[in-house]
Structure 1
Amino acid sequence: MFRKTAKAALLAATFALALIGTAEAETLKLGHSTWVGYGPFFIAEEKGFFKEEGVDIQLVTMEDTPAKMAALQAGQIDLVASTVDEFPIYMPPGKMLRYILAVDNSKGGDGIVALKEITKLTDLKGKKVAFETGSVSQFFFDAVIKEAGMSESDVEVVNMTATDAGVAFAARQVDAAVTWEPALSQGANAAHGHLLLSSADKPGLITDVVAVTPETATKHAAELKAFVRAWYRALDFIKTNPDEAIKIMAAGAGGWLADPKVFEDTLRGIEYLDKPMNEKFFGTPEAPGQISQTLGYALQIWSEKGRIQADIKPVDMIDYSFIGG
């Protein structure tokens, strides 16, 4: 009887250890689009920083934003990288998300090009302005004109993608366009155009972050901290090995960024956020940083447009416990 009991206990212990091993080796899937800001993820993968820090990350390119957000809520992927303003749009009631890391900040890569005679935001009143509704371009435009005492009703909105907006401006079909590189520079360099305002003038307004569900934040806290540490190591690698880093990131990103020169040129419009920059951007619960203001703008702007399904406050989504790594 004792031998049977001991054998059963041994089998149970073996099974339990197997389960623990499986849990420890569980792969976390990170969904992201093709974007220069996510390049360091590929360095962390290529150089083994993820594994060395104690986390197994699978990078999954997903260009369809609604599908990506639905997969996150359904638990099909574990992390998603996107802009601060975008996540709340896809959060159904009772399905909160947590921001755990800021990865890059647009620093001139997004902006507004306008006719040369339009020299300030208030000059846009009554003018045709092209941008994609429901996108970060609309958020950026609404946020900056709000500070100028304006709203969308003051302009004639022409809905089109960021690329098409740049083309329309180049063809003088609109008076201004909210777009990003390379269309931004093309419009600014046109004989009839100039750069009215860029994201470099509004730091922290267009920032990519990584978000997870509260369940993932609790269940995989150690792995997420390891993920953050690997991100910081990847940024250190970029500083000490810039040429190799560009090649790794371009190859990893692929698509329109596969050419290292294109990747490097696009990189000039953003900045990667290291640990000190994350600490400043997040701040603390007692003294919130820029992320709280940016998210506040997003919640207000998208709520006014009926895009927010849940009752959310910035404090509900910002998790300060991971940026220390």
Structure 2
Amino acid sequence: MLKDLLVVAAATFALLGHAQAQTMKTVKVGTTNLSSDIGLFLAEKRGYFRDEGLKVELVPFDAGAKMVAPLGAGDLDAGAGAASAGLYNAVNRGLKLKMVADKGTNISGYSYKALMVRKDLIESGAFKSLADLKGKKVAIIANGAADESVINQALKKAGLKDDDIEKVFLPFPQHLTAFANKAIDASISAEPGVTAMIRNNAAVRFVGIDDFYPVQQTAMLLINGKFADDRKTVTAFLKAYLRGVRDYVATLKDGKIAGPGAETMIRDIAEMTGIRDTTLLHQMVPVFIDPDGQINRASVETDLAYLKSRGLVANDISAEGVVDMSFVEELKPVLGSFKASN
């Protein structure tokens, strides 16, 4: 009799599990497996998406720019992104994309992007101030990327203009080799590449970009128009995402991943990024992600204005038409206030 009851109970639980799986909504999200994707990774690994009745598929891409087309076509619901001429021009062509939450902000104390300068130029005294950017070859991740606006802020502080430097468009992983070969003099680079270049004596971290651009919105979560219309699902998705973000931010202390739970977080980031040398993750300046998901609109507008000034983006595109903070605003009373460890 007991055996029969156990069989019936097991069958019932199996049916309930199957029914739950059928009712879970699938959300496809593009990722690049960079450290700024940690909120998404943790929300999936720790079951936060499942808690919200969501089955989230994290789809890997080797560059955020490659997500724009599948986002617009509806093949992705959400994706990791960055402000760029390509993104704004896609919106101008009619793709309904929205920036809905922070995924990486460069701020004082957590300037994970830096102006790097070739080590021999520093040691010889040939590079002493931002004014010495004049006539130099400066690596930037891509033409029309927000980092063009970043270097422009450095040039403005030094009283220089865009045409005072020679821009060299190179993906971040190629910066170290370019410095070693003396193909570039300076760069706007990101962690963990910054720490790797310092370790290899190829370049010096001259200043964090917060030295000349105090708050720069580096990355954000994007969603497409169809997904945006399903407010209940988007809000549930962002709630789970921000739980992951808060787990991460809680481990930040004194400009490092050194707070409570740091060792577990280092292992999670290593697993996500494929970085085997965890000492690199201990030493690097980590990305900051706003625990409430707030996007710095002033930075978005600064970068957009620069792209317009270069004729890379049409003048009728506005940040207001792309940034939508209504979802994370709805979550403020749900998530409550966040207390940082430092």
CA deviation string 1:88-113 (max 9, x = no partner): 25434232421111122233322212
Which residue number corresponds to residue 75 of structure 1?
74
Which residue number corresponds to residue 61 of structure 2?
62
Which residue number corresponds to residue 125 of structure 1?
134
Kindly indicate whether residue 157 of structure 2 is the aligned counterpart of residue 158 of structure 1: no
Which residue number corresponds to residue 7 of structure 1?
none
What SS does structure 2 have at the residue aligned with 1:101? strand
Amino acid across the alignment from 1:196: F
Amino acid across the alignment from 2:187: A
Report if aligned partners of 1:199, 1:206 keep a CA contact under 8 Å in 2.
Answer: no
Q: 1: CA distance between counterparts of 2:56 and 2:190?
A: 29
Q: 2: CA distance between counterparts of 1:96 and 1:310?
A: 18
CA deviation string 1:61-115 (max 9, x = no partner): 1114443110000011000112234632543423242111112223332221223
Shift of residue 298, structure 1, vs aligned partner: 2.4
Shift of residue 164, structure 1, vs aligned partner: 2.9
Comparing 299-308 with 117-126, which one deviates more in the overlay? 299-308
Which residue number corresponds to residue 45 of structure 1?
44
Which residue number corresponds to residue 10 of structure 2?
none
Residues 298 and 260 (structure 1), Cα distance of their counterparts in 2 relative to 1, 3 Å cut: same
Residue of 258, 275, 287 corresponding to 1:270: 287
Shift of residue 199, structure 1, vs aligned partner: 3.0
CA deviation string 1:154-208 (max 9, x = no partner): 1122333333333332343433222223442455577785323223433431422
Q: 2: CA distance between counterparts of 1:310 and 1:84?
A: 15
Which residue number corresponds to residue 104 of structure 1?
104
Amino acid across the alignment from 2:116: V
What SS does structure 1 have at the residue aligned with 2:138? strand
Residue of 237, 244, 247 corresponding to 2:264: 244
Q: 1: CA distance between counterparts of 2:183 and 2:57?
A: 44
Residue of 228, 238, 248 corresponding to 1:217: 228
Q: 1: CA distance between counterparts of 2:327 and 2:232?
A: 9
Shift of residue 266, structure 1, vs aligned partner: 7.3
CA deviation string 1:281-302 (max 9, x = no partner): 44xxxxxxxx222222222232
What SS does structure 2 have at the residue aligned with 1:311? coil
Amino acid across the alignment from 1:181: E
Report if aligned partners of 2:137, 2:168 keep a CA contact under 8 Å in 1.
Answer: yes
Q: 2: CA distance between counterparts of 1:84 and 1:244?
A: 31
How many residue pairs were aligned?
A: 289
What SS does structure 1 have at the residue aligned with 2:299? helix
Shift of residue 226, structure 1, vs aligned partner: 1.3
Residues 54 and 26 (structure 1), Cα distance of their counterparts in 2 relative to 1, 3 Å cut: closer
Residue of 172, 177, 182 corresponding to 2:187: 177
What SS does structure 1 have at the residue aligned with 2:238? helix
Kindly indicate whether residue 116 of structure 2 is the aligned counterpart of residue 113 of structure 1: yes
- Normalised by the length of structure 2, the TM-score is 0.73
Which residue number corresponds to residue 6 of structure 2?
none
What SS does structure 2 have at the residue aligned with 1:133? coil
Shift of residue 29, structure 1, vs aligned partner: 0.7
Residues 159 and 62 (structure 1), Cα distance of their counterparts in 2 relative to 1, 3 Å cut: closer
Amino acid across the alignment from 1:153: D
Comparing 291-300 with 87-96, which one deviates more in the overlay? 87-96
Q: 1: CA distance between counterparts of 2:66 and 2:183?
A: 33
Q: 1: CA distance between counterparts of 2:219 and 2:303?
A: 13
Report if aligned partners of 2:116, 2:194 keep a CA contact under 8 Å in 1.
Answer: yes
Report if aligned partners of 2:77, 2:223 keep a CA contact under 8 Å in 1.
Answer: yes
Q: 1: CA distance between counterparts of 2:43 and 2:199?
A: 37
Shift of residue 39, structure 1, vs aligned partner: 1.6
Report if aligned partners of 1:169, 1:175 keep a CA contact under 8 Å in 2.
Answer: yes
What SS does structure 2 have at the residue aligned with 1:323? helix
Residues 245 and 184 (structure 1), Cα distance of their counterparts in 2 relative to 1, 3 Å cut: closer
Q: 1: CA distance between counterparts of 2:280 and 2:39?
A: 12
The equivalences for 1:185-224 within 5 A come to 185=195, 187-188=197-198, 194-201=204-211, 202-218=213-229, 220-224=230-234
Residues 274 and 182 (structure 1), Cα distance of their counterparts in 2 relative to 1, 3 Å cut: closer
Residues 97 and 89 (structure 1), Cα distance of their counterparts in 2 relative to 1, 3 Å cut: same
Shift of residue 307, structure 1, vs aligned partner: 3.2
What SS does structure 2 have at the residue aligned with 1:322? helix
Q: 2: CA distance between counterparts of 1:249 and 1:175?
A: 31
Kindly indicate whether residue 300 of structure 2 is the aligned counterpart of residue 295 of structure 1: yes
Residues 79 and 171 (structure 1), Cα distance of their counterparts in 2 relative to 1, 3 Å cut: same
